[in-house]
Structure 1
Amino acid sequence: MVQEDSYKHKGMRRALAKILTDKGIRDPRVLDAIMRIPRHFFFETAFLEQAYQDKAFPIGEGQTISQPYTVAFQTELLALQPGDKVLEIGTGSGYQCCVLLEMGVKVYTVEYIQKLHERAKAMLTYMGYKGAVYVHGDGSRGLPSYAPFDKIIVTAGAPTVPTALLQQLRIGGVLVIPVGDERQQKMLRLTKESDTKIRKEEFSGFSFVKLRGAQGWDAMP
């Protein structure tokens, strides 16, 4: 059952934004997006008290709705500009997609698990979000028919950086992706300075679900 928004929920979102600010999130556009999105829509009634806590929560199919800080951190690293063409790998619950749409960008989002793909598309449509392109498929391969992209965000932990994603990034574009082992990953920001030069920045450790697909964990021996 979807719960309607209320002044109480809006107050809880303001409190969450304060927590994120205290943790180092500085982009006011990201914080404003967090404050506008009714995150409790993604939760069953019995778990509403969890919706505005700064932690991940299971959504079924072995997946989670990401911790708000993680969502804000990845979004901030993208340095989004209005109108950017953004590829999201791992639609999941759809919450990260909502944040991107609130930032005024064009979103192409890919989900490996069909049930989650259908659920997220239905939820965001119900919430009134328009303009996103939803795809069920292997996100580790990207979406070559829609490339190039200004920004790419991966919301699952990868063993290595998929070459397909770098190839589909425009010159000057940014890829944000967690890379590491099955338990812990480093957040990487990769800026494509030319066809042959990638600038890499590393950030604190995170723990994501596995990136599935031919250039994800399914390709590992």
Structure 2
Amino acid sequence: MAKGRPNRRILDSYTVKSINKTIRAGDCVLMRASDSSKPSYVARVEKIESDTRGSNVKVHVRWYYRPEESIGGRRQFHGSKEVFLSDHHDIQSADTIEGKCTVHSFKNYTKLDAVGNDDFFCRFEYNSSTGAFNPDRVAVYCKCEMPYNPDDLMVQCEDCNDWFHPNCIDMSIEEAKRLEHFFCANCSSGDQKKLNSSHALTRHSDVKVDTKRRRR
């Protein structure tokens, strides 16, 4: 007679001895890739279970995909620390956890004073079979009408409040950093396209996240 599946019990937490970190459901973790040349996988722990003796601990995870792991691949507006929350669920040994990490909302990520190695952000959910994203439209900026990449410096027009990449307005990064005032071509008159004297550049802003312009 075939043996039945061993009884499993749900754990509230589990301490991964190799890293001396306690993992709980809802935590985001870095998991060892099968190919050592690849970066660690990012996942969200959904459930932790073990056998009745408390050994053979498994974690139920929901994977985050990096842009290059998605069907469409990495695009210009994807940030270096961007990940997509996928519909791909899995069960892995808890021993493959290499560390804990934080996956911020896009808005919270743009407000960080400093980004650590274990900081990521997510603004899309991703369907791993179809390649579809939710939401399927995001705010766009600049003459190039691209979504915001938080890795890129942008300058803000003091009149229309839109944001621009320096290279899209024939400006170097160094020039942009020296700006104190900026008016875009549509809002300025004659030669008064760039003025120097107040605020202009920022990496993050609530306006950038909440703008109403959408990709068509």
What range describes the TM-score normalised by the shorter chain of this pair?
under 0.3
More strand by share: 2
Structure having the higher Rg: 2
More helix by share: 1
